């Protein structure tokens, strides 16, 4: 009877999923049309070059209302199709991405219609990429840890302590020593996480929260007791921009991907190394085996505990680099609680990305884009309250997780301590 009930209920669930998805698409399409209706008369202008670029690409002038109507109608049509068809997972994800893209374009058209201030798309994407650096590195740290079976809630603390240490060390020595020390401080948090989670079997979620509170309290205390009275220890040194020859001169693409400081290039390297390492090497196969079935891995000679120790510390080192970016790679100076929940967002990006480096990177870029979008809209004085603009990243993440996340499965042994027989 239970089996029959489950089979009978499956088509109804599929229909409900189709109707919800289709209705959401239609809602976004109607919003696009409303944005077109309320857009000011005139074109929206999108600049494709930075003011300092050696080669200027002509700006795009687009009739705002007309394009909003067209994109809204297309989203409504997609919604109608989606309500009647249950396509493959890849097509579902593509349709969601298209509808969200249409909404973003319509929003930008509405915001800039008739304005004398163009929206610089290169600047928008450049800010997206650089603003996502700590999120990407934090999400990669989570992938490395959790693929070996240890939950890493302590990414927030690793970012925060890395930012503090990098700022102080860079102020008294050099920027490179600041970066290295920031990474090592994140590794220290990872070491504490590994010892208490692996050796003493502490609850990994509670342990991660405790380590975050420890890092927050420690950095706040040191800031108030030392940095406030000794400004020379918080001097505000930052890495300079490094432009890649030839590649950095490519119009549009060059300033976005090849004209930044060292942290962006380190992030590129980290994505490639972690992706290839986890899925194309013997080391990665062993790590995934430990995270899925540690007992079976142990029986074939894989050092389960050693693998977990090394991965958790390695993840801390990665997150520490992300923390160092917040100071010596961005604003220079340290301020209390400057990570502002980025570690938890990185954790959500890792889950959204299904515990894969490339997926986690894409999710982190999504959050970074919505944050940069809110900043751009605020700079051109759109009639939207600032607190609504600040909500953009979180609202977009909720929609993305609800629409794209679906049922995700963590590594089977994630969070489970291993007791060697």
- Taken in order of first residue, the domains within the chain and their CATH numbers are 11-117 (no CATH), 126-405 (1.10.3470)
CB 89 within 8 A of CB 14: no
10-residue block means of pLDDT along the chain (421 residues)?
Answer: 41 73 92 93 90 84 95 96 88 88 93 88 94 96 96 96 97 96 97 96 95 96 93 92 91 92 96 97 96 94 96 97 96 93 90 92 91 85 78 69 64 90 67
Which residues make Cβ contacts (< 8 Å) with residue 249, sequence separation at least 6?
Answer: 54, 55
pTM for the model: 0.91
**Given this model, what pLDDT does residue 400 score?**
60
**Given this model, what pLDDT does residue 155 score?**
97
For 395-412, the pLDDT digits (tens) are 766 766 665 545 678 899
**Given this model, what pLDDT does residue 56 score?**
85
**Given this model, what pLDDT does residue 421 score?**
67
Tokens of 156: 């927030």
**Given this model, what pLDDT does residue 96 score?**
86
Map residue 70 onto helix, strand or coil.
Answer: helix
Count the neighbouring beta carbons within 10 Å of the beta carbon of residue 231: 11
**Given this model, what pLDDT does residue 1 score?**
37
- Nearest by Cα to 408 from 355, 339, 338: 355
CB 74 within 8 A of CB 29: yes
Q: β-pairing, 43-47 with 119-120?
A: parallel
Phi then psi for 237, rounded to 5 degrees?
-75, 140
Residue 161 Cα distances to 165, 270, 324, 339, angstroms: 6, 20, 9, 9
Phi then psi for 79, rounded to 5 degrees?
-65, -40
**Given this model, what pLDDT does residue 9 score?**
46
**Tokens 């925060």 identify what position?**
160
**Given this model, what pLDDT does residue 394 score?**
72
**Given this model, what pLDDT does residue 402 score?**
63
Q: What angle do CA 363, 364, 369 make, to 5 degrees?
A: 100
Q: What does the radius of gyration of the chain's CA atoms come to, in whole angstroms?
A: 24
Q: Write down the mean pLDDT value for the chain.
A: 90
**Given this model, what pLDDT does residue 298 score?**
94
Map residue 148 onto helix, strand or coil.
Answer: coil
For 209-246, the pLDDT digits (tens) are 999 999 999 999 999 999 999 989 999 899 999 999 98
**Given this model, what pLDDT does residue 42 score?**
87
**Given this model, what pLDDT does residue 392 score?**
73
**Given this model, what pLDDT does residue 403 score?**
54
Q: Which residues pair with 243 in a beta bridge?
A: 259
**Given this model, what pLDDT does residue 2 score?**
38
């Amino acid at each position: 009877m239970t089996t029959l009930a489950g089979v009978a209920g499956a088509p109804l669930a599929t229909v409900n999923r189709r109707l919800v998805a289709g209705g959401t698409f239609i809602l976004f399409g109607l919003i696009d049309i409303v944005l077109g209706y309320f857009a000011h008369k005139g074109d929206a202008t999108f600049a494709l070059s930075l003011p300092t670029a050696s080669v200027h690409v002509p700006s795009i002038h687009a009739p705002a209302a007309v394009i909003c109507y067209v994109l809204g109608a297309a989203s409504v049509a997609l919604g109608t199709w989606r309500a009647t068809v249950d396509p493959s997972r890849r097509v579902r994800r593509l349709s969601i991405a298209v509808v969200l893209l249409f909404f973003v374009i319509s929003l930008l058209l509405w915001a800039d219609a008739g304005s004398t201030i163009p929206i610089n798309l290169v600047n928008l994407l450049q800010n997206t990429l650089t603003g996502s650096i700590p999120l990407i590195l934090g999400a990669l740290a989570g992938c490395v840890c959790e693929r070996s079976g240890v939950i890493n809630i302590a990414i927030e603390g690793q970012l925060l302590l890395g930012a503090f240490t990098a700022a102080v060390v860079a102020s008294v020595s050099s920027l490179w020593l600041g970066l290295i020390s920031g990474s090592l401080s994140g590794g220290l948090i990872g070491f504490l996480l590994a010892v208490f989670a692996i050796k003493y079997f502490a609850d990994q979620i509670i342990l991660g929260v405790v380590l975050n509170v420890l890092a927050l309290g420690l950095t706040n205390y040191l800031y108030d007791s030392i940095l406030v009275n000794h400004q020379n220890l918080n001097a505000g040194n930052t890495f300079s921009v490094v432009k890649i020859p030839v590649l950095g001169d490519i119009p549009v693409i060059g300033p976005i991907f090849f004209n930044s400081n060292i942290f962006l290039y380190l992030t590129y390297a980290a994505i490639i190394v972690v992706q290839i390492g986890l899925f194309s090497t013997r080391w990665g196969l062993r790590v995934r085996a430990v995270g899925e079935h540690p007992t079976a891995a142990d029986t074939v000679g894989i050092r389960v505990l050693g693998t977990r120790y090394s991965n958790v510390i390695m993840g801390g080192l990665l997150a520490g680099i992300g923390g160092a970016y917040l100071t010596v790679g961005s604003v220079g100076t340290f301020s209390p609680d400057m990570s502002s929940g980025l570690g938890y967002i990185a954790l959500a990006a890792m889950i959204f990305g299904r515990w894969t480096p490339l997926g986690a990177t894409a999710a982190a870029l999504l959050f970074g884009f919505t944050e940069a979008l809110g900043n751009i809209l605020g700079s051109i004085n759109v009639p939207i309250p600032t607190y609504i603009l600040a909500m953009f990243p979180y609202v977009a993440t909720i929609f993305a997780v609800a629409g794209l996340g679906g049922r995700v499965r963590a590594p089977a042994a994630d969070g489970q301590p291993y007791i060697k027989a």
